[in-house]
Structure formats: C-alpha cells, structure tokens
Structure 1
Amino acid sequence: MTTHRTGTRDEWRAARLALLAAEKEHTRRGDALAQQRAALPWVRVQRPYRFETEHGAASLPDLFAGRSQLLVYHFMFGPDYRAGCPSCSAIADGIDGAAVHLAHHDVTLMAVSRAPLAKLLAYRTRMGWRFPWASSHDNAFNFDFNVSFTEAQQRTGDLEYNYARDGHAMDMAPPPEPVAQFAASCGTDAATYTRDRPGLSAFVLEDGVVYHTYSTYARGLDGIWSMYQWLDRAPLGRNEAGVWWHRHDEYSEAS
C-alpha cells in the first residue's frame, strides 16, 4: 500500500498544471536572477597569482586558456588531505561534460585547490576526470576568495564564509558527524578539513586585465551539483537522512 496520496489522471493533471505555473514563475525568477548576477560590478584583481598546472607555472590570465571568461570551482583539497572532498568530488563528476560545451562558448571551466599539483593530478586520474586543475599551493588565491582559512582564523573565529561571520556548520565544536566523516575520508581531522571550503568564482579578461565578477558558496552551489537536479525530479526527491553519497568509485556493486 503506497504511503503517498493517489488520485485519478484528471486530478494529477490539474495538480500538474498548478505546479507548471509555479515552475514557470521559478524559471522567470531564475532568469531575472541571472541578469542581476551579470549586472554585478566587476572588481579588478590586483594580485599577481602564480599557479602550478600540468603545463607548468601559470598566471591567472593564463588560466583563461585564450578565452575571455573563467569559471573556477574551488575544490576542497587542502595540502594535508590524502583525497579530495567527497561532496566536491560529486560536483566534479559533472564538470567534464559541461566544460566541453563551455570551451566553445568562450568560457574555461576548471578547478583550483591548495594541495600540491601532484596530489591533484593523481586524484584526477583515480576519478577518471579530464578537466584542468591548478594548484594554488604557494599563493593567497584561496584565502583572498574566502574558501581557505588559517589555523589562527579558526582559533579566533575571525573568518568569513558565504558572506557571513556568524558561524557555519563547518565551524561547530564538536564538528557535526558529516564533517568528521568527510574529514576521515580525506585522511585528516575535522579542523584541518574545514580550513578549506567549497565555492565557485567567475572572472573576465578584458584588455589584458582580470576582473572578479561573482562568487558563490555553500547552498549557492546546489545549481551545479547535478545529482541534486535529478533527485529533485525523482518521486521521493532528495529523501535524505544524513550523508548518503560517496566518491563514485566507492559505491558497492550492490548499490
């Protein structure tokens, strides 16, 4: 016996048409938000960041790879991690397919993390990804874009993430079980794990000058976490009771 409300086809159609109206309004609101996002003022990037890539040392303009727009996924992979964050890994599973199309629309899509390049490339090979991944191990890029923090900032609570200083789940003591669980899966402790955070930043290159145009963090990343876009359309929705996802090579054959 189903636990969900049932009805006739006519009842379903009436409810679906009501939902369609709400979905269309949501789409229109999303279009308006995209315009508002694009209208944000650009901020000139002043620091001369240097990254390590599989093709050698690179500046921030070099990361554009000849295009005028750059999207950076701030992948949680700190210098002391032994593996990348499982949540970031789930998001990254959707990058390769999109990156091919974006590259033909004047946009480079890539990941940047603080771990040394050798660790990043080894993990990329393990996961079967192809997208470009740069190491910011020796520069302040992650710190300047509010996705990495020092031990001193952790101790004093003097950090800002997702445009707020009023605390985040990652800053709770003791850490929530999912944070401790993910930290262990990355081969580190919760404090070390949470010194890096997920995010997405956008940049534009115009007349040789790089400008920062947008950044989003935390639940702002839902839109690029492709598995959730599918789950939101499945009969039971997200249907979550704690952490259920793993790196794609860690699921059992029975799953």
Structure 2
Amino acid sequence: MANGSALQCAEALVRKNGASQPNESAEYRKAREALMVEEIDLRRHIARVAALRRTLPPGGEVKGDYQFMGEASSVAGANPVGIAELFGDRDTLFVYNWMYGPKRARPCPMCTALLSCLDGNADHIRQRIAMAVVGLSPIERQIAFKVERGWKNLPLYADVNGKFSKDYHAIMKDGTDTAAQNVFVRRDGTVRHFWGAELGFETADPGQDPTTPPDLMVLWNVLDLTPDGRGTDWYPKITY
C-alpha cells in the first residue's frame, strides 16, 4: 500500500474518476460522488486497520491441554491431536468456532451461511495459511452435517474436552457455545495467539449486531449494497 503521505485526497480521485451510469440525473451524480469520497475513505481506513493488526506484538503462548478430533481420525480408537497438528505445513492458523454443540438440534444458521462461503474459498485460503473449523459436537455429527450441506473443503474438528473453546471465547458464561474467530502463529516451534475477534454486545452500536469488521459474511456485504440494506427482521435459515 502506498505511504499515507503520498495519497491524494479522495475528492481529487473522484474528480479524476469520471464514472457515470446510463440516464442518471445531475442530482444522482452529485450524491454518488459524495458517497464515493466516503467509500475511498472507508477503503483506506480498512487498510490502515489491517496494517495495524499486522504490527501486533507476540500474543500469549498457547499452553492449554487442547485436544481435537479431526475427520481423518474419526475412526474408532483414534487419538485426538493438539493445536500444533492443525497447522499442517503452515505457520499461520485461522480457527472458526461454529455454534453446533451437542445440545443443539441443528447448527446456527448464521454460522452455516458463513461456513458455506468459507467452503468455497478454503482451497484459496490454504495456499497461504491453515484453517480449522471447530465445534463442540462429536466429529461424526459435524461430518454428517457437512455432507448434508455439500461442503467439500472445510476441515472440521471436534473440541474433545472443550478447553480450547472455553479459553478462546467460544463458550459463554452460561455454558452456551458461541461463534469465535482466532488466528494463531507458529514461530520457532512455539504456538502463540495472534488475534481474536473481541467485539461483542458491549461494544455494539444501537441497533447493530456485534460484528468485527470487515464482516466475513458475503451475505451482509451484498445486502449492504442494496437500498433496503440488511433489514431489521430477517436472518438466514438453514433451509427455505
């Protein structure tokens, strides 16, 4: 990314852009160019946040007794693996905890929608980093839902003893499982936490869901482009 001091002001870029749409009015073009200034500023702010995230100092060393049962080891008598095995040959690991604990009859529809997006991009993601989807249900139950959804590329793991999910904020105080995003790094054989999504209900703005931007959900990003937006009374379902 270019040095911030060398960036042209957003208004100047808009003037150079020269975009227009068929049959638009002068009123529309004026409003659209004002919006474009905000879009440029937003793009730059997202880039600044990502750059700041990359400068985080080393996080806490991962020391817990974490045990995962993966799809390949789901046969009877197989032993669980530790977090180091989730890295494979990569040095960075993205973990998504989904809401599909043993007490849930069906997984969370929001998690399902997000994981459907990640499934389509998993092969691309794994060119650079490792990825794991962790749930509290037995691995056989998670695999059955994966087959039902037609997911092909998501590496599923069961948190055998629940300690990872508890430590990394995928279990709420009342014991209910919740979604969580965490990134880990491995340097010189030591696994450390790098970043975790920490924005929750306490930091949410009025009328907004507690999300960590930029939102991983393609669904919401597409709806944000439309005149009615996300709406206030609609959420995705597993089936329609």
Common fold by TM > 0.5: yes
**Aligned equivalents of 1:65, 1:123: Cα separation in 2:** 24
| Matched AA of 1:204 | V
Unaligned 5+ segments in structure 2 are 1-22, 74-79, 199-209
**Aligned equivalents of 1:8, 1:34: Cα separation in 2:** 36
Residue 40 of structure 2 corresponds to: 24
Deviation at residue 40 of structure 1 after TM alignment: 2.0
Asked if 1 retains the 8 angstrom alpha-carbon contact of 2:223 and 2:229, the reply is yes
Deviation at residue 209 of structure 1 after TM alignment: 1.1
**Aligned equivalents of 1:85, 1:71: Cα separation in 2:** 20
1:48-127 equivalence runs, <5 A:
48-56=65-73, 57-105=80-128, 107-127=129-149
| Matched AA of 2:156 | W
Once structures 1 and 2 are overlaid, which stretch shifts more, 7-16 or 123-132?
7-16
Asked if 2 retains the 8 angstrom alpha-carbon contact of 1:110 and 1:133, the reply is yes
Residue 219 of structure 1 corresponds to: 211
Higher relative contact order (CA 8 A, sep 6+): 1
Once structures 1 and 2 are overlaid, which stretch shifts more, 68-77 or 35-44?
35-44
Deviation at residue 11 of structure 1 after TM alignment: 1.6
**Aligned equivalents of 2:169, 2:51: Cα separation in 1:** 24
SS at match of 1:111: strand
Distance change in 2, residues 1:112/1:23 (3 Å): same
Deviation at residue 211 of structure 1 after TM alignment: 0.8
Deviation at residue 72 of structure 1 after TM alignment: 0.7
Residue 45 of structure 1 corresponds to: 62
SS at match of 1:52: strand
Asked if 2 retains the 8 angstrom alpha-carbon contact of 1:68 and 1:206, the reply is yes
Deviation at residue 244 of structure 1 after TM alignment: 3.5
Asked if 1 retains the 8 angstrom alpha-carbon contact of 2:110 and 2:235, the reply is no
RMSD: 1.8
**Aligned equivalents of 2:177, 2:27: Cα separation in 1:** 49
TM-score of the two chains, using structure 1 as the length reference: 0.73
1:178-217 equivalence runs, <5 A:
195-216=176-197
**Aligned equivalents of 1:27, 1:244: Cα separation in 2:** 27
TM-score of the two chains, using structure 2 as the length reference: 0.77
| Matched AA of 2:161 | D
SS at match of 1:15: helix
Unaligned 5+ segments in structure 1 are 1-6, 155-191
SS at match of 1:243: coil
Runs of 4+ aligned structure 1 residues displaced above 4 Å come to none
1:131-142 equivalence runs, <5 A:
131-142=154-165
Deviations 1:145-172 (A, max 9, x none): 11114xxx42xxxxxxxxxxxxxxxxxx
**Aligned equivalents of 1:40, 1:26: Cα separation in 2:** 22
**Aligned equivalents of 1:196, 1:116: Cα separation in 2:** 14
Flag the structure with larger Rg. Answer: 2
SS at match of 1:49: coil
Deviation at residue 101 of structure 1 after TM alignment: 1.0
Deviation at residue 58 of structure 1 after TM alignment: 1.9
**Aligned equivalents of 1:235, 1:146: Cα separation in 2:** 35
